[in-house]
Amino acid sequence: MRQYTVPPLVTTPQAGGLADAVFGNADSHADQVVLGRADGQGGWLDVTAAQFRDEVVAVAKGLLAEGIRFGDRVAIMSRTRYEWTLFDFAIWAIGAQSVPIYPTSSSEQVRWMLHDSGAVAAIVEHEDHAMTIGATVDELPRLTRLWQLDSDCVDELVQAGRHLGDDVVERHRLAVTPDAVATLIYTSGTTGRPKGCVLTHANFMAECDNVVARWEPVFANKPGEEPSTLLFLPLAHVFGRMVEVACIRHRIRLGHQPSMVAADLIPDFAAFRPTFVLAVPYVFEKIFQAARRKAEVSGKLGPFDKAVDIAVRHAEAMEAKAFGIGPGPGAGLRMQHQLYDKLVYSKVRDAMGGKVRHGISGGSAMERRLGLFFSGAGVSIYEGYGLTESTAAATANPPEQTRFGTVGQPVPGTTVLIAEDGEIWLHGGQIFEGYLNNDKATEEVLRDGWLATGDIGTLDDDGYLTITGRKKEILVTTSGKSVSPVALEDKVRAHPLVAQCVAVGNNRPYVAALVTLDPDAVKHWLTMRGKPHLRAADLVHDTDLEQEIRRAVVAANTLVSQAESIRTFRILAGQFSEERGTLTPSMKLKRRVIETVYAKEIEALYGP
C-alpha cells in the first residue's frame, strides 16, 4: 500500500451555500463582467456580476411563486447554455436541488432519474425533450411542473414571481448550509442503471476553491487580461459543473457553447477568445488532427511533422529541467522552437482563439506525446483524474512540474491511496455523501470516508498517479492471462484515422479489437489518395486503410508482452456514439453494450 497527501490551501466555509458567491460578487464587483452570453449572431453580450445576481433573483422568485420549495429537486435537461447556469444558481438560491439529465437520455433513462430523484419539476431545452418527459409523466406523480427554455420559460417565471419581494429569496438563501445537498448527478452508467451521486455545497466548495488556488496560473492569468473560458462540456457531467461553479465563485468570465464538434467550436473560440480551455482529450486530439490535415492539404505536412517533433523535444527538455534531471532546451533546439512558433504553433493557438495558454484535460487518458506537443506549442495542458463521486478532479498535474503521461498529484485537501490490489482510494472534502436510495452501492464504494474508485493505478515517490485500468475491465484470456485494455486502446486511438478502439478477449484464447474510424480524418485521407468517392461499406475492406490501422495496432503491441497483444482486429463501418448507447456523454466506452451490439463481429474475430 502507498499513499500521498496534499494539505488543503483553502478551508471550506462553515456557513452558506453556492449561491452566496453570486450575491457576494455583485456586492464587491458589481460592474465586473462575469459571463458572456451568445447573441445568436456569432457575437457575445457581457453580463456583469450585478446583472447576473438580478437575473438569478428574478428566476428564483418565479420558482417560489410556482411552488418550488426548500429541499425540492428540479431536473434540468438541456445542452450547455447560459440558462443552465442561471437556473442552477436560482435553484440553489432558494435551497432547492438541481438534477441534471443528459439531453441525449432515452425515455426510460429519463423516467428512472425523475422517479429515483423524486423531482417535482423539470426544465427542458426544447419540444423533443418535453415529449421525452411527457411520454413518462403518468408514472411520475410527483412531477407537477415542466418549463421549456425555447418557449421563453425564463420570462414566464420572471413574470410569475414579480409580486414577491427580493427578501423572500434572501431568507431562503441564508438558510442554506454547506452540508446541504446541492445536486444529484447520475452516473453515466457504463454498467447497469445510473446511480444518483449526492453532492453537497461543501463538496463543490472544497473542490473548486482548492483547484483555483493551486492552479492560479490557469485561473488568474497575466496582469491586465481577464481570465475566461468557453464551456462546451455537458453541464450534466460533473466536470462541466465544477467549471461552472469555479468560474462563478471566482469571477472568471464564463461562456457557454452547446457543441463539442470542431466546426461549431472554432468560430466561438475566435469570437469569445478564452484564456484557458477545460476539455476531454478528444477535443485536443481533434484540434491537433485538424491542424495536421490542413498542413497536408497545403503541401506542408513535412514541416508540420518536424514542428511537432521540435515541440515534443522542447517540452521534454523543459519537463526534465523542472524535475532537476536536465539543463533544459539547448541553443539549437530553442532556435528551431522559435522558428516554428511563428510558422506552426501560433496557428494552433489561433484555432483556439489566440489567447489560450492553459488547458485542463480529464474524463479519459491523454497520450503523453499529445500533451508534450501542446506544451511545446505554448498551451500547457494539465491532465487530471476524478469521478462524479469525487466532485470532478481528485488529482491533476501541477503547473510548475507537469509529468506528462500521468494524471498528476492530489488536489490540495486530498489523499490518494493505492490498495494492496492496486485499486485507487480517495479521501478529501470533495468526496460525495453516497448514492441516493442505494445503501448497498454506497457501502461498496465508501469505506470509513474513503472512496474505492474501481480504477487501478500506481503512485510514484513524488505522488504522481498513473491510471492503468479498471478492475471491472480487466480481460482474462482462456490461458489465464490478465490484460488491462486501456493502454492498448489509447495507443491505437492515437492514430489519426481511429475514432475509438475497444479490446475484447475475456474468456477467449487471445486479445482482439474492434476499431471505428474518424469520419473527417478518413475523408481527408481518401481525398489525398485519390479515392474521394469510396463508399463506407467498401472502405472497411480497403487494403491500404487496413494497413494503416495495422500499423497502429503494431505500435500498441510494443507496450505489452506477446500474450497481452492484439492478435487481430475488425474495422467497423459505424460509430460508437451516445445516441446508440455505446459511449457515455464523456466519451467512455460502454463495453457490455458494445459486446452485445457487435456480438457477431466479435465471434468472427475468433473464427468458426
Residue 126 has pLDDT above 70, yes or no: yes
Give Cβ neighbours of residue 439 (< 8 Å, ≥ 6 apart): none
Stretch among 74-83, 230-239, 269-278, 519-528 having the lowest mean pLDDT:
519-528
Stretch among 319-323, 369-373, 580-584, 592-596 having the lowest mean pLDDT:
580-584
Name the range with the highest mean pLDDT among 39-48, 422-431, 557-566. Answer: 422-431
pLDDT of residue 537: 67
The more confident residue out of 7 and 578 is 7
- Residue ranges with strand state E in 228-314: 228-231, 253-256, 276-279
Q: 467, exposed or middle or buried, with CB in 10 Å at 0-12, 13-18, 19+?
A: buried
d(CA 568, CA 234): 35
Average pLDDT of the chain?
93
d(CA 408, CA 294): 33
11-277 belongs to which homologous superfamily? Answer: ANL, N-terminal domain (3.40.50.12780)
**pTM of the full structure:** 0.89
Stretch among 118-127, 130-139, 257-266 having the lowest mean pLDDT:
257-266
d(CA 43, CA 36): 9
Nearest CA among 15, 227, 201 for reference residue 97: 201
What percent of the chain is modeled with pLDDT above 90? 77
CB 200 within 8 A of CB 181: yes
| Cα 166 versus chain centre, distance | 36
Assign a CATH topology to domain 474-605: GMP Synthetase; Chain A, domain 3 (3.30.300)
pLDDT per position as a tens digit, 31-44: 999 999 999 888 99
Pairing of strands 358-361, 276-279: parallel
d(CA 20, CA 435): 26
Kindly report, as residue ranges, where domains of CATH 3.30.300.30 are found in the chain. 474-605
Kindly report, as residue ranges, where domains of CATH 3.40.50.12780 are found in the chain. 11-277
C-alpha dihedral (288, 289, 291, 296), degrees to nearest 10: 140
What's the 3-state SS for 220-238? CCCCCCCCEEEECCCCCCH
